[in-house]
Amino acid sequence: MDRKFPRIVIDRDKLRNNCTQIVKHCEARGIAVAGVIKGAGGLPEIARLYRSCGAAQLATSRLEQMELWRREGIPGPYMLLRVPGLSELPEVARLAGYSLQSDATTLDALNSVCAEQGVTHRVIIMADLGDLREGFWDKTEMVEVCCHVEQGLDHLHLAGVGVNLGCYGAVKPTPENMGQLVDIARAVEARIGRQLEIVSGGATSSYTLVHWGTMPQGINHLRIGETALLAKDLQVDWGISDMDYLLRGTMRLEAEIIELRKKPTHPVGETVIDAFGNRPTFVDRGMRLRALAAFGRADVGQVETLLCREPGMTVIGGSSDHCILDVEDCPRALRVGDVVSFDLSYSHMLYATGRTDIAVVFNGA
């Protein structure tokens, strides 16, 4: 057999369309885009494509992915999204042109490392506007730290300020909280006597304000991955139906059926907890045709939220290495060895592209 399963199939033409459209819509409003590829395992093919579509930077939270891009000869600059640990600073200085920062101790240490390496590194200081992940909560403290970088750290350049919303606290980006970030930027600029290059208003969830035309003046940078990579979150989960210039179906998971037979729909015997410490519940629907597909939670995380492309097929559960499917209502007469496919959400893509034993295939020019 000349094909390896499970595998991720990526439609290069749809992905190129999405990257191009996002960059175009943002640039029309004076906003540069950092192309975020961390959710797709830092795949060099996607990094190269995003740069060809006009991304100002390539962004990831993993230094190993930057190392891969460098080996592949993909031009930067590279932006580190996760605030680095002290142990990572030599690699940050060597690999990244930009990093997001939220701690004065780390900034001082990074300046020393950059001095040793003879480089100047650009930093974006993060504000916490309610999502409660990284960033300064006290805005006076944040302004003072920005001044410290500008006036006291010779090997760091204060590129700008930024925020993250939605990833932890699920806080919705709005013109009001984006306006708060612009106010912080103006306060910093008043203190340092120059304009900041970057006011970074967040990630995929902030793109809604670009789409609606409600992003405040002064936000000039976004860090966007999922909207381009999947074009699903905002269209489906947020219900933004008129974002039809972005194409869904950019990625699908293909897997083989390894078992197919009628079985009860309720376990037989006394039940306890499953392999992941959960106590599942079951609905008895009698005997139904079930299929096992050769992948599981170790490959994609929560299998139940996969979107089946096969008509009539439903994901009913799984274990580390098996996905259990109800195929009773499938019009196609499935057989062992048949390949079935699934559309992915962000978490599925994140898990699957991070594994070395799942093949990745690109279709299109």
Residues belonging to the active site: 38
- Whole-angstrom distance, CA of residue 303 vs CA of residue 345: 10
Q: CA–CA distance from 37 to each of 99, 147, 162, 242, 348 (Å)?
A: 15, 31, 19, 25, 14
CB atoms within 10 A of CB 259: 13
The residue among 225, 199, 222 whose CA lies nearest residue 125 is 199
CB 101 within 8 A of CB 89: no
- Whole-angstrom distance, CA of residue 255 vs CA of residue 292: 10
CB atoms within 10 A of CB 347: 13
- Whole-angstrom distance, CA of residue 309 vs CA of residue 259: 19
CB atoms within 10 A of CB 312: 13
Q: What is the DSSP string of 168-229?
A: SS-PPP-HHHHHHHHHHHHHHHHHHTS--SEEE--SGGGHHHHHHT-PPTT--EEEE-HHHH
Query: CA torsion angle for 50, 55, 58, 60 (degrees, to 10)?
Result: -80
